[in-house]
């Protein structure tokens, strides 16, 4: 019907009327397709620290847990949905003995074959962040927490095991180890049992929690009788540590025994000490102190 009236109007020359016909009759009655409105869904992502996959936990348990009670403790530690303050009360009395044994077993298998951990599908592997290392961190946190609350030395580990943790490359494990060593009064002596980059890394971490005076004493301990590699490693980070000129002189005195050693080591120490002196306005360096 609408087409009929269009033809009539065109035939009769009523173009203006056709315009009005289109505007007020055809278009208002035209049902244009409606664009569907998409409703956006709100996605909530919950992020949690993940425990080791069950398959890998089974391998870890077979490598480190020598007793069924140690396997139970290992499984509970891996429950990252709970914090350590929630886990500790659920453990049986004297759990710390199994914990100490488990820590040592984890250290043994970490050194042997990383407790069975393999690189991921991209070939990535960080030996300082294995499931064994992460478990050690959590377990040592539990021991430290229990010691802080009770003051009972039964929560402190043997010095030999603690010294090995300082070489782990895992900062969280090293920091927890420092707490144990400090409680045992063995922080200085422990530094004399490590060397190279381990010494430098340990001092960097310790610098965040000790006074300037204590730090100088710890640096001296690390450098006492040190080899060239350890001394150079320490001096490479020395510029990031805080000490005054008398403290710097005390540190320099600890490397004088290297003056007659390998020339390249002494040149490195002298160069690094001169750089520190220039940056801080000190009037001394390795060459002037070790005459």
pLDDT digits (tens, 9 = 90+) for 13-66: 555 554 544 544 444 444 444 444 444 444 433 334 555 677 788 889 999 999
**Rounded-to-integer distance, Cα 235 and Cα 118, Å:** 35
What 3-state class would DSSP assign to 33?
coil
Angle between helices 196-206 and 171-184 (to 10 degrees): 80
In a domain, 57, yes or no: yes
Mean pLDDT of the chain: 85
In a domain, 56, yes or no: yes
Same domain, 167 and 56: yes
pTM of the model: 0.72
Range of the domain at 277: 212-291
pLDDT at 18: 47
In a domain, 273, yes or no: yes
Question: How many residues comprise the chain?
Answer: 291
Nearest to 203 by CA among 249, 255, 240, 252: 240
What 3-state class would DSSP assign to 36?
coil
Same domain, 64 and 127: yes
SS3 content of the chain, % helix, strand, coil (to 5): 65, 0, 35
Domain count of the fold of the chain? 2
Tell me which of 150, 185, 220 is where a domain ends: 185
For 179-208, how does the pLDDT look when each residue is reduced to its tens digit (9 = 90+)? 999 999 999 888 888 999 999 999 999 998
């Amino acid at each position: 019907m609408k087409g009929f009236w269009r033809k009539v109007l065109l035939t009769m020359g009523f173009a203006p009327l056709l315009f009005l016909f289109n505007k007020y009759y055809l278009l208002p009655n035209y049902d244009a397709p409606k664009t569907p409105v998409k409703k956006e869904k709100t996605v909530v992502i919950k992020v949690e620290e993940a425990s080791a996959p069950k398959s890998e936990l089974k391998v870890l348990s077979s490598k480190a847990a020598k007793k069924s009670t140690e396997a139970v403790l290992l499984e509970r530690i891996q429950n990252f949905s709970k914090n350590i303050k929630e886990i500790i009360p659920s453990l049986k009395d004297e759990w710390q003995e199994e914990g100490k044994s488990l820590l040592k077993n984890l250290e043994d298998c970490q050194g042997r074959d990383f407790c069975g951990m393999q690189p991921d599908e991209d070939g990535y592997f960080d030996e300082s962040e294995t499931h064994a290392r992460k478990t050690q961190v959590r377990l040592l946190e539990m021991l430290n927490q229990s010691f802080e609350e009770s003051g009972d030395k039964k929560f402190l580990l043997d010095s030999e095991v603690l010294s090995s943790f300082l070489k782990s490359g895992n900062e969280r494990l090293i920091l927890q180890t420092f707490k144990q060593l400090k409680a045992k009064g063995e922080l200085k002596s422990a530094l004399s049992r490590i060397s190279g980059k381990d010494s430098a890394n340990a001092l960097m971490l310790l610098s965040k929690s000790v006074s300037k005076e204590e730090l100088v004493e710890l640096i001296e301990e690390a450098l006492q009788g040190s080899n060239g590699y350890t001394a150079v490693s320490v001096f490479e980070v020395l510029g990031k540590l805080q000490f005054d000129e008398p403290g710097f002189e005390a540190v320099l005195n600890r490397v004088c025994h290297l003056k007659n050693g390998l020339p390249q080591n002494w040149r490195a120490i002298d160069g690094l000490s001169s750089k520190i002196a220039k940056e801080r306005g000190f009037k001394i360096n390795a060459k002037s102190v070790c005459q």
